[in-house]
């Protein structure tokens, strides 16, 4: 059983920064690939960033443009997403997710390609 609890969302102005956190509770948590996905109203859920199982390589979605950084604290079982230079189009519900990935890079670009476990989400709103 995997449980994911997100925090750190909020409202910022364009150009601001936020850090999202996800506490991962699971037996053998390091066997899961972990990632952040987002969904804006009326749009499909899209991949933001993901990391291989065992804290391997990280992968980013096309919309990130080098503005976001994904990191994993294995000791605390926490996944972080540092977001900088935020834009209004980054406004969305952000979800932490876990999966036993066949392809982590594929997962980022096609969120439904894996059997996902989702957190409850945390809202990020970027105003002009």
Q: What is the CA radius of gyration of the chain?
A: 13
> Which residues touch 9 (CB under 8 Å, ≥6 apart)?
18, 20, 94, 122, 123, 124
Q: What percent of the chain has pLDDT over 70?
A: 100
Span 56-95, pLDDT tens digits:
899 999 988 899 999 999 888 999 999 999 999 999 999 9
Give me the pLDDT at residue 54, please: 84
12-22 pLDDT, tens digit each: 999 999 999 99
> What's residue 61's pLDDT?
95
Burial of 108 (0-12, 13-18, 19+ CB in 10 A): buried
Whether pLDDT at 43 is above 90? yes
Tell me the C-alpha distance between 14 and 88, whole Å: 6
- The confidence score (pLDDT) of residue 26 equals 86
DSSP state of 70: E
Tokens of 46: 């899209």
* 3-class secondary-structure state, position 57: coil
């Amino acid at each position: 059983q995997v449980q994911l609890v997100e925090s750190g969302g909020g409202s910022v102005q364009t150009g601001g920064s936020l850090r999202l956190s996800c506490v991962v509770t699971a037996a053998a948590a390091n066997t899961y690939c972990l990632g952040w996905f987002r969904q804006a109203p009326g749009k499909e859920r899209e991949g933001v960033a993901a990391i291989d199982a065992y804290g391997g390589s990280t992968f980013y979605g096309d919309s990130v443009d080098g503005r976001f950084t994904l990191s994993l604290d294995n000791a605390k079982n926490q996944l972080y997403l540092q977001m900088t230079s935020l834009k209004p189009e980054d406004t969305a519900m952000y979800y932490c997710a876990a999966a036993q990935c066949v392809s982590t890079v594929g997962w980022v670009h096609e969120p439904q390609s894996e059997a996902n476990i989702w957190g409850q989400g945390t809202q990020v709103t970027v105003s002009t």
